[in-house]
Structure 1
Amino acid sequence: MEWRLTIPTASLLMLMLMSSLAKNQAQARNVFNIKDFGAVDDGNTDGSKALSDAWSKACNSRGTAVVLIPSGTYLLGPVRLAGPCNGAIEFQIKGDLKALNSPQLGIDHWITFRYIEDLTITGGGVLDGQGAAAWPSNDCKKNPNCQALPVTMRLDFVSDARIHDVTSLNSKNFHFNIFSCKNITFERVTIKAPDESPNTDGIHMALSSNVFIRDSDIGTGDDCVSLGPGSKNINMTGITCGPGHGISIGSLGGTPNEPAVAKVFVGSSTFTGTTNALRIKTRAPSFQGAVKDITFQDINVKNADNPIIIEQQYCPSKTCSSQSSQVKISNVKFSNIRGTSSSSVAININCSPAVPCTGIELRDIDLKYDGSNGNDEKTSSVCENAQGTAYGTQNPPSCWKSSTLRKLQFI
């Protein structure tokens, strides 16, 4: 007898199949709500134990796990969320997390992720570091033995992570610190702190590779993004920076055997009212090191003090000797950099006499003076111990004559 599938039977089988698929997907995506572990959304009850317990369950579960911070305001003390975990894990911030409203001297973190592979941090929520309580305690410019202040979020030994659609406000120290990580992507991240807040770098990284920062709005009291030793294959595009100190490579040379900073690209970004825009800084005196293969391209600068600056005499302690930096800088390209400078020196390339810069390229630079004194002043370039070439538009006039045929010159 021939068996035929009727329409009602086919519909029933389809519903059963869809139900089975939905059930499997639900099983594969386990959600651990911190409220189920005792967190209270009153903004006053410390939820660090609840979060740690939820993380522990999520990390040890099978399949993709979600640690959920639902809508509401949650007070949170310092937490370390460690792996390795059994599967991919998502830290979903729907509400607001608030740090303790105190300096927390001697504590170097607020939220730390460690030894994790395949991590997502998202949700549209807010990390509020309540930094105003800590900033008056930051005396590091005067005190070499100053105590640590908490970084809002640390990623240590993390790989394949995506941080997107979150906001970090008023960190006590750095907003994000990336250490010994690989394959990290920041996208549509908002980072804000007042321009007078000390050491509130937006994203700082070191000993990390394949880091992408895209379409993010960063305004702080320090560097929007800073790159420490061992930062390699770094790509930054679509960044809006200001206020702050711009994007800084360095400072470098402060410790022995520092790995090089190499293969960095910054493109299609805007700097508004920043102290610096595109900056490389090394200490003097310093240990040996290297910066190489750096490209800054398609950059719009609005009223920055130092639109283009290489500073190899960086001395934050103000008690440095006359010794030179030993960090070698090579193959740095500035291409299509346009806008206004609030100082008359728009290009300041101050390299080390011990290891002069080589392979500096300026291509299509147009930086006009926009000072507040009302004078019709033009911008200028200052270069020391630097070897380079210039092509196309050069405003201010380059240290090297603009010519596609001219060989490298030494200034």
Structure 2
Amino acid sequence: MAGCKNITVPTMVLLWVSMCLGGVHGANFDVRHYGTRADGRSDDSGAMMNAWKDACASDAGPVTTFTIPPGNYLVGSLNFQGPCKASSMNVQLQGTLVAPSDLNKVKSQGAWVIFQNIDWLTVSGGGTLDGQGAVAWSKNGCQRGGMCGSFPSNLEFSSITNGFIEDITSLNSKLFHIELINCKNVTLQQLTINAPGNSLNTDGIHIGRSTGINITGIDIKTGDDCISFGDGSQQVYVSGVTCGPGHGISVGSLGKFQGEQPVTGLTVKNCTLTNTMNGVRVKTWPASISSLASNLHFEDIKMMNVGTPILIDQQYCPYGRCQLKACSEHAILPPSIHSHTEKFEFLFQVPSRVKLSDIFFTRIQGTSSTPVTVKLACSAEVPCQNVQVSDINLRYDGNDGNSTSLCSNIKPRTSGLLFPTLCTGEVPAP
């Protein structure tokens, strides 16, 4: 396996299947043999971590299997840490992991279940991670103060190289459902992500600083973005995703933090969005740091009763907090500005510094819950470059199907059928 590090994702999957069907296994570590009770009441965290430590240390064969059989396992924070001795770790999640509903018994940051620093990892088996997030949603401070990151995500993959995640369910996460951070060559397919539409900040899948990610055949119902691409998302392919309820499929938000890496090479196609707040969008903060997002493709997407199906928003300002954040973290203010009020007024006029270029919206059709079906609001400081809109048919679900578009700081290129007729935004002189 050591000589296979540059294998492509499809070849990697075939190799795993061949190994599994051919019986090329090492030891199988079953958590029941370590004293788990699987009754949904007893804390199985310690027994499960002991099983993992032995599995990760095993060199009995090229593929080590870690099995969580059917049952309800009440567990606190789990960190399945690598690197492991076997060439590949095969996690069979067949049961249901249940998070504590008591917020005092979970970490306030990070993720509830983490897989970290593992090369060649599979996670499958038809099991569920139940985050029991209802109590957390009622205490989430997003709307009150913009402080959203105070609860754990359900599942995080950190520094995973060559991963295959299939046939598991994430249910009612306290925060994000699934995060991929610093990962390379990872496939997620045939997953179910489920939380009600009023579950605050429960992004379905969030990707950050990862490359070579393949997402296909995912059903996502949640209270925030179905899929969000953070900084450093590169060469990501998304297809066959159903989204709704939720906030849509989003690039960003970008430009909030120093040191953000470029976002490039994203393709989203053959997806269906139903009753979502937005469709496909790119969002960046005003008064932001300088950053870059380019080579973004949104193709063959069906919208059903979606608010603003196509959206570029470079004035993204949730909960009215962007001025304060910019003042404290990024802005360089003239010496003449002293009072906080003056600072906020000044900052509100500072445009986004995130450069957006080479963005393609192609063959997008369906209905909108708002009259403005296409909104391209770009930055006055770094106007969008080479945005192409082709063959769109987006009708307002009211007013006889009439719909409109809005543009600013952009001159989009158009071709094919266009409904609504696309606006032409003004681009300031350099």
TM-score normalized with structure 1 length: 0.89
- Give the counterpart of 2:29 among 25, 29, 32: 32
* Equivalent residue pairs, number: 378
Query: In structure 2, what is the equivalent of residue 43 of structure 1?
Result: 40
Deviation at 1:317, TM superposition (A): 4.4
Q: Deviations over 1:149-203 (max 9, x none)?
A: 0110111111111110111110000001111111111000010000000011000
Say whether 1:338 aligns with 2:365: yes
Say whether 1:78 aligns with 2:77: yes
Q: 1:196 to 1:52 in 2, by over 3 A?
A: same
Residue type of the alignment partner of 1:325: S
Q: 1:147 to 1:296 in 2, by over 3 A?
A: closer
Work out the CA distance in 2 between the residues paired with 1:346 and 1:225: 20
If each structure's strand is expressed as a fraction of its own residues, which one has the higher value? 1
Work out the CA distance in 1 between the residues paired with 2:401 and 2:149: 44
Query: In structure 2, what is the equivalent of residue 370 of structure 1?
Result: 397
SS in 2 for 1:134: helix
Q: Deviations over 1:63-90 (max 9, x none)?
A: 2111111011111110111110112101
SS in 2 for 1:314: coil
8 Å CA contact retained: 2:148, 2:201: no
Residue type of the alignment partner of 1:195: G
8 Å CA contact retained: 2:73, 2:97: yes
8 Å CA contact retained: 1:389, 1:409: no
Which runs of structure 2 are paired with 1:41-120 in the superposition (5 Å)?
A: 41-62=38-59, 63=61, 64-87=63-86, 88-103=88-103, 104=106, 106-120=108-122
Work out the CA distance in 1 between the residues paired with 2:67 and 2:110: 25
Work out the CA distance in 2 between the residues paired with 1:224 and 1:218: 6
SS in 1 for 2:32: helix
Residue type of the alignment partner of 1:333: F
Work out the CA distance in 2 between the residues paired with 1:348 and 1:114: 39
SS in 2 for 1:399: coil
Deviation at 1:146, TM superposition (A): 5.9
Deviation at 1:376, TM superposition (A): 2.1
SS in 1 for 2:422: coil
Query: In structure 2, what is the equivalent of residue 380 of structure 1?
Result: 404
Q: Deviations over 1:300-339 (max 9, x none)?
A: 0000001000000011241422210000000000000010
8 Å CA contact retained: 2:380, 2:427: no
If each structure's helix is expressed as a fraction of its own residues, which one has the higher value? 2
8 Å CA contact retained: 1:388, 1:410: no
8 Å CA contact retained: 1:191, 1:218: yes
Q: 1:61 to 1:324 in 2, by over 3 A?
A: same
Deviation at 1:399, TM superposition (A): 2.0
- Give the counterpart of 2:167 among 161, 165, 168: 165
TM-score normalized with structure 2 length: 0.85
Q: 1:33 to 1:199 in 2, by over 3 A?
A: same
8 Å CA contact retained: 2:408, 2:426: no
Query: In structure 2, what is the equivalent of residue 190 of structure 1?
Result: 192
SS in 2 for 1:158: strand
Q: Deviations over 1:249-295 (max 9, x none)?
A: 00000012311100000010100000011010000110000110000
Q: Deviations over 1:29-60 (max 9, x none)?
A: 31111110111111111111111111111111
Residue type of the alignment partner of 1:92: Q
8 Å CA contact retained: 1:299, 1:336: yes
- Give the counterpart of 1:354 among 381, 388, 400: 381
Query: In structure 1, what is the equivalent of residue 154 of structure 2?
Result: 152
Query: In structure 1, what is the equivalent of residue 11 of structure 2?
Result: none
Q: 1:298 to 1:325 in 2, by over 3 A?
A: same
Q: Which runs of 5+ in 1 are unaligned?
A: 1-21, 401-407
SS in 2 for 1:376: helix
Q: 1:351 to 1:27 in 2, by over 3 A?
A: closer
8 Å CA contact retained: 1:388, 1:409: no
Work out the CA distance in 2 between the residues paired with 1:144 and 1:393: 40
Residue type of the alignment partner of 2:25: A
Rg comparison, structure with higher value? 1
RMSD (Å), alpha carbons: 1.7
Q: 1:201 to 1:144 in 2, by over 3 A?
A: closer
Work out the CA distance in 1 between the residues paired with 2:26 and 2:248: 40
SS in 1 for 2:412: strand
Identity %: 40
Work out the CA distance in 1 between the residues paired with 2:157 and 2:30: 22
Work out the CA distance in 1 between the residues paired with 2:202 and 2:102: 16
8 Å CA contact retained: 2:77, 2:107: no
8 Å CA contact retained: 1:105, 1:147: no
